[in-house]
Amino acid sequence: MKNLLLLEYFTSKSNLDLRKDQELIKEGLNIVNSIIKHFVKSKYIKKINLVINKRIKTIKSKKINHFFTNDNTTYIDILNKFNLKSDAIIIAPEIDKKSLELHSVLKDRCEVLGSSRSCLEIFSSKFKTSKFFQKYKLPVVKSYKNNLPTKNKSISKPDFGAGSTDIKILKNNIIKANYITQQFHNGIKGSFLMLCDNGKSKVICCNKQIVAVHNEHIKQIGCIIGGLENYRKEIEALGNKICRKFKGLYGLVGVDIVREEKKWLVLEINSRFTSAYCGLEGSYSNSTISLITDFYLTGRIKASQTKFIKSSKYLF
């Protein structure tokens, strides 16, 4: 049986602004609660050591030890004092390279169940992701640090950014520092979750993104979980190609994609649990969810197949 340290960046911050950060806290807490709900059921889990802000309420269980942050205690304070006899799952955004920062704090103190540092460095940057995909001849939406070399409609987004933060249709030639531009594609927007281990992959779910456009800002507001199951074979082939080229990808990985001229192009890679994980129960079997739990607790991707039940809407 395994002890597991669980730390999600937004819900573990000591200086929380519950009003200003409400949306991010809600999303992070949904992921935390989903992980707890699924993992405490496993016969392989002994204890979950949860780092979380004192002001946030979460699921209670005899299998959970809470380590609270507050105005005087940061998650770094807890990690520095805590005797980490457990493996760790980190859920941290690409914003300000937080995923890399937390990896650095924990890598010498416990086994971090996540992608290699080299993969984190590549996929925390949309520009680097684009360049490496082009280098390996993988399908990708090209990123530029200036204007596109064509007159096609384009969008700007932070190079280091989480989700759909500050993505907007570009109306002038002004590119902010640390932002990139990409061609705007009208095709189907989607995402998928896959388990990765040393070049091998297993696609868990194939989702269609729900996107809203308001005042030239583009924001993903949810997913149709299982909405792209008709494309599973194509998505599995893409997942296999990605994992073979990036063998440092490990654990649950989210991939954002768009369909263009009958093929899928990758928008970005999220080397962590994403919000789509929270919607799995409405569309996939318990045995499918157990594939994820068992992998983190045993280190093996089981040979059993995913079981799709029905598509369902999950709003962030």
Residue 279, pLDDT > 70, answer yes
39 and 297 in contact (C-beta within 8 Å)? yes
Whether the pTM exceeds 0.85: the reply is: yes
Torsion-angle region of 210 (φ positive above 0: left; ψ -120 to 50: alpha; else: beta)? beta
For residue 50, is pLDDT > 90?
Answer: yes
Query: How many angstroms separate the CA atoms of 292 and 285, rounded?
Result: 12
**Which pLDDT band holds residue 45 (cuts at 50, 70, 90)?**
very high
Please name which of 37, 33, 29, 39 lies closest in space to residue 295, comparing C-alpha atoms.
39
- Measured CA distances, 209 to 71, 97, 221, 232, 258 (Å): 37, 25, 8, 15, 10
Supply the pLDDT for residue 261: 87
In sequence order, which residues have a C-beta less than 8 Å from that of residue 38 and are 6 or more positions away?
289, 290, 292, 293
Q: Could you tell me the CA-to-CA distances from 283 to 225, 258, 304 in Å, in that order? A: 6, 21, 17
Which pLDDT belongs to residue 167? Answer: 87
* Cα separations in angstroms, 1 against 29, 88, 271: 25, 14, 25
Query: Quick one: what percent of the chain has pLDDT higher than 70?
Result: 96
Hey, which residues does 209 pair with through a beta bridge?
223
177: number of Cβ within 10 Å: 6
Instruction: Return the structure tokens found at 228.
Output: 């792209």
Model confidence over 62-74: pLDDT tens digits?
999 999 999 999 9
Question: Comparing 31-35, 119-123, 301-305, which segment has the lowest mean pLDDT?
Answer: 301-305
What pLDDT shows up at residue 106? 79
The CATH classification number of 115-316 equals 3.30.470.20
CA 185 to chain centre: 22
14 within 8 A of 53, measured Cβ to Cβ? yes
**For residue 149, pLDDT beyond 80:** no
CA–CA gap between residue 16 and residue 177 (Å, rounded): 27
Is the pLDDT confidence value at 92 over 90?
Answer: no
Ranges of each domain in the chain? 2-113, 115-316
Q: Is the pLDDT of residue 24 over 90?
A: no
Both tokens of residue 158? 């932070």
Cα(38)–Cα(246) distance, integer angstroms: 28
Q: How far apart are CA 296 and CA 251, in angstroms?
A: 7
> In the predicted model, is pLDDT for residue 1 greater than 90?
no
Token pair listed for 91: 């859920």
Q: Is 99 left (phi over 0), alpha (psi -120 to 50) or beta?
A: alpha
Q: Which CATH number is correct for 2-113, 3.30.420.40, 3.40.50.11770, 3.30.1330.10, 1.10.3110.10?
A: 3.40.50.11770
Residues 6+ apart with CB under 8 A from 33: 58, 59, 278
pLDDT of residue 198: 94
> CA-to-CA distance for 74 and 102, rounded, in angstroms?
13
Average pLDDT over residues 74-91: 83
